[in-house]
Amino acid sequence: MSIDVDLSGFVRQTDDGARGIDFAIDGMTCAACIVEIEQAMKKIPGVEKARVNYSNSRLALGWKDDALDPALAVDQLRRMGYVAHPFELAEAESRDAEHAKYLLRCLAVAGFAGMNVMLLSVSVWAGNISDITPETRDMFHWLSALIALPAAAFSGRPFFTSALAALKRHALNMDVPISLGILLALGMSLVETANHQHNAYFDSALMLIFFLLCGRYLEQMMRQRTRAVAGNIAALRSPLAARVNADGSVTQVPTARIVAGDVVLVRPGERIPVDGSVVSGSSEIDESIVTGETRQCAIGEGAEVFSGTLNFSGALKVRARAVGSGGFLDEIERLLENAASARSHYVGLAERASKIYAPVVHVTAAATLAGWLIAGASAHDSIVTAIAVLIITCPCALALAVPAVHVTASGALFRAGVLLNGGHAIERLADADTVVFDKTGTLTLPEPRVANAHDLPQHLVECAARLARSSRHPLARALAQERPMGAPYDGAREEAGAGVMADVDGMEARLGSAAFCGLDVAAMAQALDEGASAICYRRGNETAVFRIRQTLRPDAVATVEALKRRGYAIEIISGDSAAATQAIGDALGISSCTGGAKPADKVARLETLKAEGRKALMVGDGFNDAPALAAAYVSLSPVSAADVAQASADAVFLGENLAPVAHALELSRVARNLMRQNLWIAVIYNSVAVPLAISGHVTPLIAALAMSGSSLIVTANALRAGAGADKDRAPHQPHARASENVRSNAGAVA
């Protein structure tokens, strides 16, 4: 059966006459995939460029031959085991990428100019207490002005434009006093230089811009990464669907053109593009985006399937039931949007402080100017005093109070195996009082393991694992991991949907289903317990049944116990069966367990907890967990989680252990306390420094030094967050022995 594919709507044309197309790639597992894909694409006649971005799982192809059909790339990738979906870059994502480049350029200019001006300033400071001549000092000041003014005009634009926009709305934000402080410091430095004064403050203005831009750029990069991952949700929609026509021919059409009642063909390795029912064919599908369970489900005629699920072994014909805005993926997106909207009202400590701080700074500086003029001081002295007040109250300490802790705590969390996705994650984690776990891939390891490998003859395990290396079936991959260094047998042959066979020392060995291996299907089914899958092996009279299941993370018991001791309420809510969920709950000592939960059920439970006044941390890994991760007060997902789950979570934790969840909660509480301390330091500093500046006892130079000093104090206090992380990890080390015991017994409870 031939299939016509039309990708012309996704092809873009560049200014030099070349053509290109972007694909979202499903199936990349490591950086080695980059070389493999790029080399394969460049072998297609006519392809001039093939570039893979591993971080967002995308492939960019370029060519100049008008006759080249990009569908050749899709077919080649499918034969290699990858699934490619045409991708169009969203306008919002493109805008985020451009803004990140813009901030980086501003940051580079501010840093380079600031270093050069600082070198000139050091010479002036040293000369002022030795033998520098006025002419030399003026020359250095003018050189500083020549560097600083254009550099500040360029690199300060993010603050200037934000401040101007706020003023146009008749509002004040943190960028208004920052911009005013920068402009006045530069202006006063220029006037002082023209009047041959000893001091100028060009370096202070540039370094202020540089440090603030560092925080802006890091925040933008986190936002851009989240946007890029979220954009790949569109790939799950299968933008093209193979519609079966009345005459039996098949045509690839945009999924949006499929209507209820149409029949679509889904080949092995493709995602099902619509919600519907199977009218012919049988296969195994991955429903993890629906249930969270990674085990493949066998389906046949009449089975209900959902859009986004992955078809493994056989071709299916599916009659569309729900398309457009009625499908499963659309329901997921709707839940995500609602959850994100509900969380957008959160206001952090720094934001709450800035609402009060910005107007107070301006009122104080204006009152100082008016007061000195009324007292009879000259305009020059009154302006200098007012500028000193503005400089000394410039919100450096306040602007650094929270970001400095964020940076330090983020580094400490990284060392503990936690990567932050959002700026408010630390404050939210510190407030959490309830932890809600998903089961599969969260409390258990993401990849299934062989539970009875140690109970079977090891030469048999060796042979079966090597045979498994010739199959792409998920159960075979789990078995192959028992002997990761084993080489596949030469001449192995795989029968789709049945198993794989090879000649081993003159005798045929088989690995696959019970029927394929000639074993009693009914007896094998009775021997399996809840949650286990089986893969059979036979070579002559030697037979074995490998039980494959999810196993608990090594330190799951110890981590749950530690969370309980700290006073957290613990729950499990999973899309897996109630019996399997309860078994995990019993093993971990968690009494509140809910199984068979759909994405909306998880969101509803979190809303109930919120109504009870509790602040829940959701920990999940699946596509079906994404709405709950977005709806929770705060959320974590493992690094093995689905891309959309990671994008929806506030943070991602690394490795096979669950301990980073406990580390993140404890360290966040330490960090929140340091944020509050820093805000109080900024308040106390201003309470002492502002009256001195208002009274005229502080020169602009002393004000600049005091401003820098307060920033250093705040930064030094923030560094304590790193020490808190190392201290926090120590109490969990004694549980290592218990964790190993859990690993050995996990097969009995998972």
Measuring CA to CA, how many Å separate 709 from each of 202, 204, 377, 610, 698?
A: 17, 12, 29, 42, 14
Exposure of 247 by Cβ count < 10 A (0-12 exposed, 13-18 middle, 19+ buried)?
A: exposed
DSSP class of 440:
I
d(CA 531, CA 533): 7
Q: What percent of the chain has pLDDT over 70?
A: 72
Mean pLDDT, residues 100-107 taken together:
89
Q: Tell me, yes or no, whether 667 and 521 share the same domain.
A: no
Strands 263-266, 316-322: pairing is antiparallel
Q: Tell me, yes or no, whether 400 and 536 share the same domain.
A: no
> Does some domain include residue 332?
no
Mean pLDDT, residues 646-668 taken together:
84
User: What is the CATH classification number for the domain harbouring 45?
Assistant: 3.30.70.100
Query: Does residue 384 register a pLDDT over 70?
Result: yes
pLDDT band at 352 (very low <50, low <70, confident <90, very high): low
Return the pLDDT at 6. Answer: 55
> Does some domain include residue 377?
yes
Final residue of a structural domain among 70, 88, 106: 88
User: What is the CATH classification number for the domain harbouring 577?
Assistant: 3.40.50.1000
pTM score of the predicted model:
0.57
Mean pLDDT, residues 542-563 taken together:
88
Q: Tell me, yes or no, whether 625 and 721 share the same domain.
A: yes
Return the pLDDT at 736. Answer: 34
Return the pLDDT at 289. Answer: 54
d(CA 369, CA 746): 72
> Does some domain include residue 379?
yes
Q: Tell me, yes or no, whether 169 and 149 share the same domain.
A: yes
pLDDT 10s digits, 23-64: 877 666 666 678 888 888 888 888 888 888 766 677 888 888
Q: What percent of the chain has pLDDT over 90?
A: 11
Query: Does residue 159 register a pLDDT over 80?
Result: yes
Q: In this predicted model, which residue has the larger pLDDT, 237 or 188?
A: 188
Return the pLDDT at 201. Answer: 74
Q: Tell me, yes or no, whether 401 and 375 share the same domain.
A: no
User: What is the CATH classification number for the domain harbouring 303?
Assistant: 2.70.150.10
Q: Tell me, yes or no, whether 422 and 459 share the same domain.
A: no
Q: Tell me, yes or no, whether 517 and 571 share the same domain.
A: no
Measuring CA to CA, how many Å separate 129 from each of 122, 132, 649, 703?
A: 11, 8, 56, 19
DSSP class per residue in 549-584: E--B-TTHHHHHHHHHHTT-EEEEE-SS-HHHHHHH
pLDDT 10s digits, 463-490: 999 888 887 676 787 888 888 777 788 8
Return the pLDDT at 351. Answer: 57
Q: Tell me, yes or no, whether 351 and 437 share the same domain.
A: no
d(CA 681, CA 710): 8
Mean pLDDT, residues 211-223 taken together:
67
DSSP class per residue in 466-534: HHHTT---HHHHHHHTTSTTPPPPTT-EEETTTEEEEEETTEEEEEE-TTTTT--HHHHHHH--TT-EE
Provide the number of structural domains found in the chain: 5
Return the pLDDT at 105. Answer: 92
Q: In this predicted model, which residue has the larger pLDDT, 683 or 282?
A: 282
Number of H-type helices and E-type strands within the chain:
26, 28
Written as six digits, the tokens of 611 are 């109504």
Query: Does residue 531 register a pLDDT over 70?
Result: no
Mean pLDDT, residues 288-297 taken together:
59
Q: Which domain holds residue 145?
A: 94-228+346-386+698-709
Q: Angle CA(140)–CA(143)–CA(145) in degrees, nearest 5?
A: 110
pLDDT band at 356 (very low <50, low <70, confident <90, very high): low
- Ranges 90-94, 565-569, 618-622, 699-703, most confident: 565-569
Which sequence positions are flagged as catalytic? 438
Q: Tell me, yes or no, whether 622 and 742 share the same domain.
A: yes
Q: Helix 202-231 and helix 700-718: axis angle, to 10°?
A: 40
Query: Does residue 335 register a pLDDT over 90?
Result: no
Return the pLDDT at 750. Answer: 33
Q: In this predicted model, which residue has the larger pLDDT, 556 or 722?
A: 556
User: What is the CATH classification number for the domain harbouring 513?
Assistant: 3.40.1110.10
Final residue of a structural domain among 72, 88, 104: 88
Return the pLDDT at 2. Answer: 41
Residues linked to residue 593 through DSSP beta bridges, in sequence order: 572
> Does some domain include residue 339?
no
Q: Which of 396, 371, 393, 395 is nearest to 383 (CA)?
A: 371
Final residue of a structural domain among 38, 61, 88: 88
Q: Tell the residue number behind the tokens 């053509």, with chain if given.
A: 19
3-state class (DSSP) for residue 159? helix
Counting every residue written for the chain, the total comes to 750
> Does some domain include residue 337?
no
Contact 5, 251 (CB under 8 A): no
> Does some domain include residue 341?
no
3-state class (DSSP) for residue 295? coil
105: left (phi over 0), alpha (psi -120 to 50) or beta: alpha
Return the pLDDT at 571. Answer: 94
- What is the four-CA torsion angle of 593, 594, 599, 602, rounded to 10 degrees? -60
Contact 272, 311 (CB under 8 A): yes
- Ranges 325-329, 373-377, 520-524, most confident: 373-377
DSSP class per residue in 302-351: T-EE-TTPEE-SS-EEEEEEE-GGGSHHHHHHHHHHHHHHHHTT---HHH
What values do phi and psi take at 617, rounded to 5?
-95, 120
Mean pLDDT, residues 250-262 taken together:
77
Written as six digits, the tokens of 182 are 């920068």
Query: Does residue 560 register a pLDDT over 90?
Result: yes
Q: Tell me, yes or no, whether 53 and 119 share the same domain.
A: no
Contact 624, 333 (CB under 8 A): no
Contact 704, 204 (CB under 8 A): yes
Contact 148, 112 (CB under 8 A): no
Q: Which of 552, 590, 592 is nearest to 749 (CA)?
A: 552
> Does some domain include residue 144?
yes
